[in-house]
Amino acid sequence: MGLTAGTPLREIKVDTVFLGSCTNGRIEDLRVAAGLLRGRKIDPDTRMMVVPGSAAVKLQAEAEGLDRLFIEAGAEWRGAGCSMCLAMNPDKLRPGERSASTSNRNFRGRQGKGGRTHLVSPAVAAATALTGRLTDPADVPTSPGA
């Protein structure tokens, strides 16, 4: 995993935040994440992909305006699908890259050969996207747009 013993989780830098999958891509998950991102920008060196768990969830999220919150924060608003949960399509980590992912499997190479996966909740995923490091949502100040 390219980690040194004793490193606090908060110091671990991630390259990609993947919010999605059938496991954690419900409308409730997207609401929690969008609420944390409202009125903020994600870390410029971090890529965030938001992939609804189904087409129905995608339509519901768009009806609620969540897609705009993600896009304005600098995240990618994507079609429903498996995406980086299992690296079956081009959504994959490059060797050595690190992700914070709301999917539920972290087998070696699961998100791309040589990739490193940290499984997180949707709230931690959003907080992590803001800082570029694994971040506790409790450490994010109350949203300025809330």
Find the shortest distance in angstroms from Cβ 25 to other proteins.
Answer: 17
Closer to other proteins by CB, 56 or 88: give it.
88
Treating both helix axes as pointing N-terminal to C-terminal, what angle do 27-37 and 66-73 enclose, rounded to 10 degrees? 40
Closer to other proteins by CB, 87 or 119: give it.
87
Find the shortest distance in angstroms from Cβ 87 to other proteins.
Answer: 5
Find the shortest distance in angstroms from Cβ 115 to other proteins.
Answer: 11
Find the shortest distance in angstroms from Cβ 113 to other proteins.
Answer: 6
Helices (H) and strands (E) counted in the chain, each on its own, are 5, 5
Closer to other proteins by CB, 16 or 128: give it.
16
Radius of gyration for the alpha carbons in the chain, expressed in angstroms and rounded: 14
Question: CB atoms < 10 A from the CB of 74, how many?
Answer: 17
Q: Are strands 98-101 and 116-119 parallel, antiparallel or unpaired?
A: parallel
Rounded distance between C-alpha atoms, residue 105 and residue 118, angstroms = 9
Binding site for other proteins (CB under 8 A): 86-88, 92, 105, 107-110, 113
Rounded distance between C-alpha atoms, residue 32 and residue 76, angstroms = 17
Closer to other proteins by CB, 87 or 140: give it.
87
